[in-house]
Chain A
Amino acid sequence: MEGAMQADAKIRSESGTESGPRGPACSLRHFACEQNLLSRPDGSASFLQGVAEKSRERLIRNTCEAVVLGTLHPRTSITVVLQVISDAGSLLACCLNAACMALVDAGVPMRALFCGVTCALNSDGTLVLDPTAKQEKEARAILTFALDSVERKLLMSTTKGLYSDAEVPVWRWGEGQVPPSRT
């Protein structure tokens, strides 16, 4: 039985509220998620061009493939269409979150949920989570990760810039350790 499922999700991050400095550095900006907004989603493969977009597509696709239980839907195509409405920094992480929420909305069986998060490493060694576009430009390195919800393992990672592994504490998590909670 062949079928094609398409789902959309929009994730809006408020772009007006982080012009000033945020409280603790490890906090995320406010985010909202709405599902099932569009009744007739369209395909968007034609909108994506260029080599950088292809690279991003592959990252998102491989992350989704790692969690979706494809064996329960043989001979099925699951198309995830992502439309960027506004880009205020941390775009790839936002796309990953949107893709996960869309898959949940579509009812696609998954092994785990995943979330995307971006970290910006400044020249003085401080780590800022969920950077704005301005903070991304000024940072020494930008690291984007996708973590799965069940085992807290690293599903996807892509980095830009030069840094040493001692500066990124996320890799110090051993098995069974819970990452520090963020208020």
Chain B
Amino acid sequence: FSTCFRTVEPLEYYRRFLKENCRPDGRELGEFRTTTVNIGSISTADGSALVKLGNTTVICGIKAEFAAPPTDTPDKGYVVPNVDLPPLCSSRFRSGPPGEEAQVASQFIADVIENSQIIQKEDLCISPGKLSWVLYCDIICLDYDGNILDACTFALLAALKNVQLPEVTINEETGLAEVNLKKKSYLNIRTHPVATSFAVFDDTLLIVDPTGEEEHLATGTLTVVMDEEGKLCCLHKPGGSGLTGAKLQDCMSRAVTRHKEVKKLMDEVIKKKSSYVKCRQVWKGAFPER
């Protein structure tokens, strides 16, 4: 009977759980799904990472290529992100040019890279005015079950930490670039932006890490991207129900906690060098009543 009720009246079904301060999958309102990260799985890419947030699966592959630096900033390289939501991840997407959701996600990731200064673009320059690196970051969703922005940000961060660029020298006589594949070095990642997404239910209730179904029933969403010093790279709230200042403060403190957990997970996986690490975090107590 409960599956019929869930299909016919999904909002009422959810409301009954939310009244008890929990959700149908057993999580509390402030609890994230099990987060899994795996780095270095794509051997043909210069850096890669696979992130699973519950069922949501996102893979990020980074390829480094040569390009001429932009004319107005000859000492900088490029970081070009692209988020792809193919039809295989969910029935809501059709094949063809990128839909609106994919474009918005791409713009979001581009903003996070730009705002957080995760990489100094000057580090990507090989020879000012002549040659620089361009990092193509392709983020592909393999399974869409909500909270795509958090997963994409985490996948991008993990993949960038995994990237190894070979040493390039410019031969003075020929003017050609010589690549030394035996000498590789990691990128200098300056900050670690972590995204935390929330969904607003019935204009009042805030839940963390919404699933696909919860996103569909929600009246609004909010994504906070924070770095380790508590600085905000992005506060993305595309319309939806209004939030008071107090609720925003709650979201920010939750984002700070999430950042610590993600950082711990990242450090563990980097130490073990491309191993499979999961973490299940429990947040005791829902959002305080205001």
Query: Which of A's residues lie within 8 Å of B, judged by CB?
Result: 51-52, 54-55, 57-66, 141, 143, 146-148, 151, 153-165, 170-175, 177
Q: Which 3 A-B pairs have the closest CB atoms?
A: A62-B239, A153-B242, A63-B239
A45 to chain B, nearest CB (A): 12
B contact residues around A58 at 8 Å (CB):
100, 104, 238-239
B contact residues around A157 at 8 Å (CB):
222, 235-237
> Which of B12-20, B131-139, B153-161, B226-234 forms contacts with chain A?
B226-234
Contact between B231 and A163, CB atoms less than 8 A apart: yes
Q: Kindly state the separation between the CA atoms of A161 and B232 in the bound complex, as whole angstroms.
A: 8
Q: Kindly state the separation between the CA atoms of A172 and B252 in the bound complex, as whole angstroms.
A: 12
B residues 137-157 touching A (CB-CB < 8 Å): none
B contact residues around A54 at 8 Å (CB):
100, 103-104, 107
Confirm or deny: B43 has a beta carbon within 8 angstroms of a beta carbon on chain A: no
Contact between A173 and B239, CB atoms less than 8 A apart: no
Contact between A154 and B237, CB atoms less than 8 A apart: yes
Contacts A66-B239, A174-B246; A162 near B104 (Cβ below 8 A): no
> Which of B2-10, B26-34, B61-69, B109-117 forms contacts with chain A?
B109-117
Contact between A164 and B230, CB atoms less than 8 A apart: yes
Residue of B nearest to A172 (CB): B245
Which of the residues A55, A146, A159, A175 comes within 8 Å of B290, measured between beta carbons?
A175
Contact between A55 and B231, CB atoms less than 8 A apart: no
Contacts A55-B103, A163-B231; A171 near B239 (Cβ below 8 A): no
A2 to chain B, nearest CB (A): 23
Which of the residues B219, B229, B230, B239 comes within 8 Å of A156, measured between beta carbons?
B239
Contact between B103 and A173, CB atoms less than 8 A apart: no
B118 to chain A, nearest CB (A): 11
Confirm or deny: B210 has a beta carbon within 8 angstroms of a beta carbon on chain A: no
Confirm or deny: B44 has a beta carbon within 8 angstroms of a beta carbon on chain A: no
Residue of B nearest to A112 (CB): B242
Contact between A158 and B235, CB atoms less than 8 A apart: yes
Contact between B240 and A62, CB atoms less than 8 A apart: yes
Contacts A148-B242, A164-B230, A164-B232; A66 near B237 (Cβ below 8 A): no
Contact between A159 and B232, CB atoms less than 8 A apart: yes
B68 to chain A, nearest CB (A): 23
Q: Kindly state the separation between the CA atoms of A157 and B222 in the bound complex, as whole angstroms.
A: 9
Contact between B290 and A59, CB atoms less than 8 A apart: no
7 pairs, A vs B, C-beta closer than 8 Å:
A63-B239, A66-B242, A153-B242, A153-B244, A159-B234, A163-B231, A164-B230
Contact between A165 and B232, CB atoms less than 8 A apart: yes
A17 to chain B, nearest CB (A): 30
A174 to chain B, nearest CB (A): 5
Contact between B104 and A55, CB atoms less than 8 A apart: yes
Residue of A nearest to B224 (CB): A165
Q: Kindly state the separation between the CA atoms of A117 and B136 in the bound complex, as whole angstroms.
A: 34
Residue of B nearest to A146 (CB): B239
**Which among A61, A158, A159, A160 has the highest number of chain B CB atoms within 10 Å?**
A159
A contact residues around B231 at 8 Å (CB):
162-164
Contacts A66-B240, A174-B245; A162 near B235 (Cβ below 8 A): no
Contact between B239 and A64, CB atoms less than 8 A apart: yes
B112 to chain A, nearest CB (A): 11
A156 to chain B, nearest CB (A): 5
B contact residues around A146 at 8 Å (CB):
239
B residues 213-269 touching A (CB-CB < 8 Å): 219-220, 222, 227, 229-246, 248-249, 252
Contact between B107 and A55, CB atoms less than 8 A apart: yes
Contact between A55 and B108, CB atoms less than 8 A apart: yes
Contacts A64-B239, A154-B242; A161 near B115 (Cβ below 8 A): yes
B239 to chain A, nearest CB (A): 2
Q: Kindly state the separation between the CA atoms of A109 and B270 in the bound complex, as whole angstroms.
A: 54
A contact residues around B116 at 8 Å (CB):
162
A49 to chain B, nearest CB (A): 11
Contact between A151 and B242, CB atoms less than 8 A apart: yes
A contact residues around B230 at 8 Å (CB):
164-165
Confirm or deny: B35 has a beta carbon within 8 angstroms of a beta carbon on chain A: no
Contact between B245 and A65, CB atoms less than 8 A apart: no
Residue of A nearest to B248 (CB): A171
Contacts A51-B107, A54-B100, A175-B290; A162 near B242 (Cβ below 8 A): no
